[in-house]
Amino acid sequence: MSYFTHLECSVPCGAGPYDPRVEQHLCTCGAPLLARYDLDAARAWSKSSLSGRAANMWRYRELMPLMDGEEPITLGEGWTPLIHARRLGEELGLPGLFVKDESLNPTNSFKARGLAAAVTKAAHLGARILSIPSAGNAANAMAAYAAAAGIEAKVFMPKDVKVPFIRECELYGAEVNLVDGLITDAGRIAAERGKPLGWYDTSTLKEPYRIEGKKTMAYELGEQLDWQFPDWIIYPTGGGTGMVGMWKAFEEMERIGWKTAGTRPKMVSVQAENCAPIVRAFERGAERSEMWQNAQTVADGLRVPKAIGDFLVLRAVRESGGTAIAVRDADMVRDMRTLGAKEGISAAPEGGAALYALRVLLQDGRVKPSDTVVVFNTGGALKYLDVLR
């Protein structure tokens, strides 16, 4: 059964609740909406029921945004490996080092999780045309799931996006629109063009369901670590949906009795030195970030000059006792190579950035040799081979 009940404002502002049986995007106050569940009733859902379920993210369907009788649009996303990085851990003096390798998702990145959930919901709501602004991987994922659902896809990407991202969208039959500027400009143009025509907007946090796909990363960590959660999660942050989703999942697991309260991991938001709005806001003690001017980085997924859910990311970092770290491009590419050479992991620059941030935390003494740390590699290297030259 499904325990999904309603949507509510993430602020909250007093508006709502919102009915998930009709199309919803942002709250009337402009803040993202969050999916809510009957967590008291969900206490009857036992962890033991997971045994024998399909090895994908829909194994947690009781707390996913499906109504009873609805089935997901799936390409097998989720249940990615949690690799015990022993050789790298030995080098760093950190025997409890793990890498959650999201590159093994369909379309080669963690974006598959969020877009599988978003496209599933859009399909059940009767959407005919989906649109998305993207730096690359999200467009690939949306295009793939739209194809699986038989829905038309229109993607908007900066014109300097890497060619593999363009070609993969075309592979899935999507219409590709290249725009001047950054992902924020792509989002503006997509909205200007699509809103009058009734396109279903799947932008980060401008619909409520990508978070629900991303939160399954936290459920998987629980299962893969026998419900003993790590001391630290180090996570590359662009739009921040994964950070927000995992923090939401920890609350849900505590409420239903799957996790001990008060033992959440410290959350580390990792950004690029030349596009670090979350890091700057964290260091200044601000609740929201400011638009980052002239954003540049080889990590396309981190080139987000301002995220609509920045306050939710900052909330997770601060409430967890975590931190935010900016990484130079050269350092992230170097550790992209390290993940490959030491552990055989095909890492995008974002994964390299997360590993380098761990080095900073070790050097500062914040991460102790006895700690358990999960570094997220959010995508694969194949679309980024040009940066290895």
From first to last of its 389 residues, the chain has per-residue pLDDT tens of 899 999 999 998 999 899 999 999 999 999 999 999 999 999 999 999 999 999 999 999 999 999 989 999 999 999 999 999 999 999 999 999 999 999 999 999 999 999 999 999 999 999 999 999 998 999 999 999 999 999 999 999 999 999 999 999 999 999 999 999 888 899 999 999 999 999 999 998 899 999 999 999 999 999 999 999 999 999 999 999 999 999 999 999 999 999 998 889 999 999 999 999 999 999 999 999 999 999 999 999 999 999 999 999 999 999 999 999 999 999 999 999 999 999 999 999 999 999 999 999 999 999 999 999 999 999 999 999 999 98
Please enumerate in sequence order all residues whose Cβ is within 8 A of that of 281, keeping only pairs 6 or more positions apart, or say none. Answer: 287, 288, 289, 290, 310, 314
Q: Is residue 72 part of a domain?
A: no
How much is the pLDDT for 182? 85
How much is the pLDDT for 335? 98
| Max CA separation in the chain (angstroms) | 56
C-alpha dist (Å) from residue 369 to 86, 225, 325, 359, 362: 13, 18, 20, 12, 8
Residues 248 and 146 in one domain: no
Q: Please state whether beta strands 175-179 and 200-201 pair in parallel, antiparallel, or not at all (unpaired).
A: unpaired
How much is the pLDDT for 135? 86
Residues 362 and 252 in one domain: yes
Q: Is residue 74 part of a domain?
A: no
Q: Please state whether beta strands 4-9 and 33-37 pair in parallel, antiparallel, or not at all (unpaired).
A: antiparallel
CATH number of the domain bearing residue 164: 3.40.50.1100
Query: Helix, strand, coil proportions of the chain in percent (round to 5)?
Result: 45, 15, 40
Residues 327 and 242 in one domain: yes
Domain that holds residue 117: 111-201
Cβ distance 66 to 120 under 8 Å? yes
3-state secondary structure 191-229: HHHHHHHCCEECCCCCCCCHHHHHHHHHHHHHHHCCCCC
Task: State how many domains the chain has.
Answer: 3
How much is the pLDDT for 175? 97
How much is the pLDDT for 246? 98
Cβ distance 327 to 270 under 8 Å? yes
Residues 188 and 150 in one domain: yes
Q: Is residue 69 part of a domain?
A: no
Please enumerate in sequence order all residues whose Cβ is within 8 A of that of 385, keeping only pairs 6 or more positions apart, or say none. Answer: none
Residues 365 and 252 in one domain: yes
